[in-house]
Each structure stands twice: as structure tokens, then as C-alpha cells.
Amino acid sequence: MLRPSMPENESERMETLRSLHILDTPPEERFDRLTRLARRLFGVPIAAVTLVDSQRQWFKSHPGLDASETPRDVSFCGHAILDSELFLVNDASLDVRFADNPLVTGDPNIRFYAGYPLTVDNGCRLGTLCLIDVKPRALDDEERVLLRDLARMAEQEIAAVQLATTDELTGLSNRRGFEALAQHAIRLCKREQKPASLLFFDLNGFKQINDVYGHAEGDRALIAFATVLRTALRDSDVIGRLGGDEFVVLLTDSNEEGTMQTIDRLRHQLDLHNQSAQTPYQLHSSVGTATYAPDSAQSINDLLAQADGAMYANKRSQR
């Protein structure tokens, strides 16, 4: 059996998937409708909308299949997300990659698999719309186009979910998306007994930028600050825009010294931006911090409130 390899953008892909807050959610008619239609159109016993998590593939919709998830290392969909085109296995029992796979040798006895990857706006492939049959078969050209069209419809439904967790202007997580991602990161820190820090940023003089140079320029300033955050931070850090000119970052596995180094790195990156940007103003921010210990009972909302208070204290000290 050949285990699926990891996509090159796995860290970004997982951050995107977690930000949707869709894993382990109840069935939804908009996804079930697509899988029912796929079963009927293709005459297969199983159709599914799958999402490939770090260690498992989880089924958002799975008519004809009893299991709600399977391990990622035996999944067909783990292979399917490695490419942007249709992943097709006509007879898994004759395919060296899958012949001894437990999903082939045992329940649900997969022979035919066709999975079209589900891609979101940033290019990440999160899962598939897939067809499964217990008999070998093939797809003709017309059927391939039909499956692709159904997958596009599933992508549109995922995009609707994504809009609810993403800040449209900057592309960062919005408050809902940040809280979901950050809470997951906090649980991971607790399990691994590692510290974390929350940084709360507020842009200084942002109202003046809007008043003097217009809201379009204010939007460009917000996008620029979001870019600085992305550039200076690690892939494992969770970044969000709460609204207006307020930004937050959760640093995982970061003690007090590491947090101060991160703040210094952000200030340096902001200085570089101000030196190169051809704008009549410069970007500056106030920041407050809150520390999470793995034995703490603090929630993300507790940390946000604490860091928010520290940020306003920092802003007052700069006046």
C-alpha cells in the first residue's frame, strides 16, 4: 500500500481548513443534496464530500457509507488532493498503490474511486467530491466533465462557509475564524504542555489616514499591515483581524523571551515597510500581550480581554 504524501503547502492548507470551523459539524442539506445527486447520476452506491484533516479524512456528507471518517494514511482522497485534476482508480484491486489497502480488502470493498479535489480561493485543496463503487468501472469524457461540475458546486458551498470566517479585505481570519483557530491551537498547547502568547495590535493614527487621505487609502494601510504580519510571523502562528484597525496574533510554543523577539521582528518589518512604501504617512501600532500557561483555564476570550487592556495601556503611554 502506498500512503499519500503531504502537499507542499500542508501548513497553509491545514490553517485554511481549520479556519472554516467545518470539521465535525452536523450534516447539511446543501452538501447532502450534491452527494445524493452524484449517486443518482453516476449509479454508484457511495458518494462523499470529504475533508482531509492532519491525521484523518472526515466526511461532511457520505450517503451509502457508514463511517464518518477514516485514517488519512489509507485514504484515497489523500492522494487526490495532491493534484488539481481528477484522481481516478478504475480497479483498486489491480492497482499496486491500493491492492492491499484495508478499504479495498475489507469494508467498504472499494474497487472504483473517482475524486475531484475541492479548491478554495488561496489555491489550497481541502478535500474532494468523490465517487466509490464496489465494482470496477471507468468514466467517459462526458462523465468526467459532469463530476468536475458537481465539484465546482461543492466548492461554491465551501466558499460560502469560508466567507463567514475570513476578513474579505485582508484575507486574514475574521473574529469568528480567529477564535476557532486559536482555540484549537490553545488545546494543542495544553496537550503538549507548551506556552502561548496573544498579541493585540491597534494601528496608531488610523482615523487620521482615513480622514485625510480617504477610505481607499485606509484600506491599503490595513492590507499593508496584514502583509507585514504574514511576512514576520511563522506558519504556525494564528493571525486575525477583529475589525477596524484591530489585529490579533496567537503565538504557539512561545515564552516571554520568544514573544519579545517576535514583537521586535514585527517592528523591524514595519520599519522596512515604512522605508520602502511611497505613502505620505507611516504605519505604527500599539501592542498588548497576554500569556497563556498550559495549566491555565483561560479561554481565548479571556486572553483577548487581557491583551486588549494591555494594548490600550501601551497606547496611552505613547501619547
Domain ranges of the chain: 10-163, 175-318
Give the global pTM: 0.70
pLDDT digits (tens, 9 = 90+) for 88-128: 999 999 999 999 999 999 999 999 999 999 999 899 999 99
In this prediction, residue 176 carries a pLDDT of 87
What pLDDT is recorded for position 98? 98
pLDDT of residue 21: 85
Interatomic CA distance for residues 172 and 133, integer angstroms = 40
Express as a percent the part of the chain with pLDDT over 70: 100
Q: What is the mean pLDDT of the chain?
A: 94
Say which CATH superfamily domain 175-318 falls into.
Reverse transcriptase/Diguanylate cyclase domain (3.30.70.270)
DSSP the chain: -PPPPPPTTHHHHHHHHHHTT-TTPPP-HHHHHHHHHHHHHHT-SEEEEEEE-SSEEEEEE-TT---SEEEGGG-SHHHHTTSSS-EEES-GGG-TTTTT-HHHHSTT---EEEEEEEE-TTS-EEEEEEEEESS-----HHHHHHHHHHHHHHHHHHHHHHHTTB-TTT-SB-HHHHHHHHHHHHHHHHHHT--EEEEEEEETTHHHHHHHH-HHHHHHHHHHHHHHHHHHS-TTSEEEEEETTEEEEEEET--HHHHHHHHHHHHHHHHHHHHH---SS---EEEEEEEE-TT----HHHHHHHHHHHHHHHHHHH-
Contact between residue 190 and residue 294 where contact means Cβ atoms under 8 Å apart: yes
Model confidence at 273, pLDDT cuts 50, 70, 90, reads very high
pLDDT over 90 percentage in the chain = 80
Integer Cα distance of 114 and 88 in angstroms: 5
Q: What pLDDT, on the 0 to 100 scale, is given for residue 181?
A: 82
pLDDT confidence of 235, banded at 50, 70, 90?
confident
**How far apart are the C-alpha atoms of 87 and 81, rounded to whole Å?**
8
Is 245 one of the catalytic residues? yes
Domain 10-163: state its class. alpha beta
pLDDT in tens, 2-57: 999 999 999 999 989 988 889 998 899 999 999 999 999 999 999 999 999 999 99
Q: What is the pLDDT of residue 50?
A: 98
> Which among 167, 202, 237, 245 is annotated as catalytic?
245
CA atoms within 13 A on the CB side of 107: 5
Stretch among 113-117, 171-175, 197-201, 257-261 having the lowest mean pLDDT: 171-175
Confidence of residue 182 (pLDDT cuts 50, 70, 90): confident
